[in-house]
């Protein structure tokens, strides 16, 4: 049986525009409906001109509120199980407007993946009160360049060795965490690994360095099986990064951070957001992906999506503008948040290491090595708007429709379309003294057609 809620006087985020029209939510099925039976409408909500956006999707978040997705899932902490700590974190996080995420594991040994990933896979439940929904885990590492590991565990990265052959990668994460069918290793090791199964299991996204031996084969094989491959924590040159995109990677993990800087004659990974080609400076032009050979570069250059950490610390605002202006349709805001999100300034234990938080900065204790952030998606949105001057709907695409497209879920998530999951946020604009750009504030969060957060009621 359906129960329809009509929402009136909302400004809906549709593409680049804010459109004033009504919207109907089926709060039992948890989806948007466009032509409901009027007899089923049980209530009407007047949003008084506020903005209604699809719920936010965070493709890269390592933890929050004192919990880290990579911590030992076999141990209780303070008498509370990993499962319960994870659930509690999700229920807190959804209040920031992040209705879906990819819980992200930093570089770990194989055992930790085998232990934790089954908890972090896609949430099966459509219970709106379970907090932020997992769309699958993001494995960030351990197949990284050894000089671009950031604060990831060096032992985990070093023990992954120099290679990223498919067999090793699958063994590290565990085949059943990757695919819904088990695989049998080839009897002849020279033989190309045949991976059965087409539906990803617990893992939805993997970040790896494309220049390691075997990485391109792995990127091709896993992306063909539906896992989103992203290149990052890499020492890749421009052609090596471009080869990763050609092989099937869709994205660059936190552009600028943990990769070669741009040089005008060796543009590095930044260069490929302008179009990944194997242009040689001495005039030979050939497009790697997209257009047929012979097409002009302007037709369909291969330009990857890229994550940006807009916390005001990882990347300078002018560099964010540069990337945004170069490839506006590619930019995705991610928090890269750690357990210190929502915490106080100070130093805390974090896995086998210690982190110091000071304002927006999180560093490895006693060093100036930047760790992940402690910001929320709304903070990233507000920073990004202030720094780029983008329109509200334009900015919101970077946390809604665009991450959904990367995951191939554009009909279900990050959208207000008929039949999509009714995950959405109600946003007020508030003026801030001395600031020309308004701040967006999350008033309400709805999950599967049910209101789960209301600022006025907290």
- Closer to its own copies by CB, 117 or 242: give it: 242
Q: Does 360 bind its own copies (CB under 8 A)?
A: yes
Three-state secondary structure call for residue 116: helix
Tally: H helices and E strands in the chain:
12, 22
Q: How many residues bind its own copies (CB under 8 A)?
A: 53
Residue of the chain from 123, 217, 274, 347 that contacts its own copies (CB under 8 A): 274
Q: What is the dihedral of CA 328, 245, 420, 131, to 10 degrees?
A: -90
Q: Does 319 bind its own copies (CB under 8 A)?
A: yes
- Closer to its own copies by CB, 175 or 320: give it: 320
Q: Does 326 bind its own copies (CB under 8 A)?
A: yes
- Within 13 Å, how many C-alpha atoms sit on residue 355's CB side? 29
Q: Are 254 and 334 in contact (CB under 8 A)?
A: yes
d(CA 69, CA 139): 11
Residue of the chain from 99, 100, 207, 277 that contacts its own copies (CB under 8 A): 277
Q: Which residues in 420-449 contact its own copies (CB under 8 A)?
A: 435-437
d(CA 253, CA 140): 9
- Closer to its own copies by CB, 124 or 264: give it: 264
d(CA 81, CA 75): 7
Cis bond upstream, residue 452 (ω within 30): no
Q: Least distance to its own copies from the beta carbon of 325, Å?
A: 4
Q: Is 325 exposed, middle or buried (0-12, 13-18, 19+ CB in 10 A)?
A: exposed
Known catalytic residues are 336
If residue 369 lies in a helix (H) or strand (E), which one and from where to where?
Answer: none
Q: Least distance to its own copies from the beta carbon of 438, Å?
A: 10
Q: Which DSSP letter does residue 260 get? A: P
Residue 191, C-beta contacts closer than 8 angstroms, at least 6 positions apart: none
Classify residue 176 as left (phi > 0), alpha (psi -120 to 50) or beta. alpha
Q: Least distance to its own copies from the beta carbon of 65, Å?
A: 23
Find the part of the chain contacting its own copies (CB under 8 A) among 75-83, 112-120, 149-157, 309-317. Answer: 309-317
Q: Does 150 bind its own copies (CB under 8 A)?
A: no
Q: Least distance to its own copies from the beta carbon of 57, Å?
A: 24
Q: Does 248 bind its own copies (CB under 8 A)?
A: no
Q: Are 132 and 98 in contact (CB under 8 A)?
A: yes
Q: Does 264 bind its own copies (CB under 8 A)?
A: yes
d(CA 147, CA 25): 49
- Closer to its own copies by CB, 166 or 267: give it: 267
Find the part of the chain contacting its own copies (CB under 8 A) among 73-81, 144-152, 294-302, 439-447. Answer: 294-302
Find the part of the chain contacting its own copies (CB under 8 A) among 10-18, 161-169, 210-218, 315-323. Answer: 315-323
Q: Least distance to its own copies from the beta carbon of 299, Å?
A: 7
- Closer to its own copies by CB, 193 or 322: give it: 322
- Closer to its own copies by CB, 41 or 441: give it: 441
Residue of the chain from 46, 389, 411, 431 that contacts its own copies (CB under 8 A): 389
Residue of the chain from 112, 327, 402, 447 that contacts its own copies (CB under 8 A): 327
- Closer to its own copies by CB, 186 or 261: give it: 261
Q: Least distance to its own copies from the beta carbon of 375, Å?
A: 11
d(CA 107, CA 90): 22
Q: Least distance to its own copies from the beta carbon of 307, Å?
A: 13
Q: Does 237 bind its own copies (CB under 8 A)?
A: no
* Nearest CA among 311, 339, 307, 146 for reference residue 230: 307
Q: Which DSSP letter does residue 42 get? A: E
Q: Which DSSP letter does residue 192 get? A: P
Q: Is 160 exposed, middle or buried (0-12, 13-18, 19+ CB in 10 A)?
A: buried
What are the tokens at 289? 């992906």
Q: Least distance to its own copies from the beta carbon of 100, Å?
A: 27
Residue of the chain from 187, 188, 190, 298 that contacts its own copies (CB under 8 A): 298
Residue of the chain from 97, 232, 248, 271 that contacts its own copies (CB under 8 A): 271
Contact positions vs its own copies (CB under 8 A): 238, 256-257, 261-267, 270-275, 277, 279, 281-283, 285, 294-299, 301, 312-319, 321-322, 325-327, 359-360, 383, 386-390, 435-437
């Amino acid at each position: 049986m359906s129960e329809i809620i009509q929402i009136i006087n909302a400004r809906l985020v549709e593409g680049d525009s804010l459109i004033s029209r009504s919207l109907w939510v089926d709060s039992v099925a948890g989806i948007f409906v466009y032509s409901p039976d009027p007899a089923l409408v049980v209530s009407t909500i007047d949003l008084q001109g506020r903005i209604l956006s699809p719920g936010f999707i965070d493709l890269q978040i390592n933890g929050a509120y004192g919990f880290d997705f990579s911590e030992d899932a076999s141990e209780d902490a303070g008498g509370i199980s990993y499962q319960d700590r994870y659930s509690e974190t999700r229920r807190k996080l959804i209040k920031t407007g992040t209705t879906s995420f990819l819980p992200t594991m930093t570089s770990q040994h194989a055992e930790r993946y085998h232990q934790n990933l089954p908890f972090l896979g896609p949430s099966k439940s459509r219970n709106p009160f379970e907090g932020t929904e997992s769309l699958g885990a993001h494995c960030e590492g351990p197949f990284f360049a050894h000089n671009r590991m950031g604060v990831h565990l060096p032992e985990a990265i070093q023990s992954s060795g120099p290679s990223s052959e498919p067999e090793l990668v699958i063994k590290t994460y565990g085949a059943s965490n990757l695919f819904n069918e088990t695989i049998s290793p080839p009897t002849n090791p020279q033989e190309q690994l045949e991976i059965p199964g087409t539906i990803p299991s617990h893992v939805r996204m993997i970040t790896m360095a494309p220049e390691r031996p075997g990485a391109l084969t792995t990127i091709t094989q896993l992306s063909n099986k539906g896992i989103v491959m992203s290149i990052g924590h890499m020492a890749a040159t421009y052609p090596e990064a471009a080869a990763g995109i050609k092989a099937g990677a869709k994205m660059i993990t936190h552009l600028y951070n943990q990769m070669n800087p741009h040089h005008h004659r060796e543009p590095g990974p930044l260069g490929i957001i302008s179009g990944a080609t194997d242009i040689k400076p001495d005039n030979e032009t050939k497009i790697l992906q997209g257009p047929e050979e012979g097409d002009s570069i302007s037709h369909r250059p291969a330009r990857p999506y890229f994550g940006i950490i807009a916390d005001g610390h990882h990347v300078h605002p002018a560099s964010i503008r540069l990337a945004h202006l170069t490839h506006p349709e590619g930019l995705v805001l991610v928090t890269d948040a750690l357990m210190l999100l929502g915490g106080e300034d100070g130093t805390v234990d974090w896995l086998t290491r210690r982190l110091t938080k000071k304002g927006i900065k999180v560093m490895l204790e006693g060093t100036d090595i930047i760790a992940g952030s402690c910001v929320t998606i709304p903070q990233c949105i507000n920073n990004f708007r202030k720094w780029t001057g983008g329109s509200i709907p334009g900015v919101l695409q970077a946390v809604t429709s665009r991450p959904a497209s990367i995951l191939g879920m554009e009909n279900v998530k990050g959208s207000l379309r008929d039949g999509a999951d009714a995950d959405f946020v109600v946003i007020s604009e508030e003026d801030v003294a001395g600031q020309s750009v308004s701040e967006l504030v999350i008033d309400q969060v709805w999950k599967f057609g049910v209101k789960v957060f209301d600022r006025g009621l907290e």
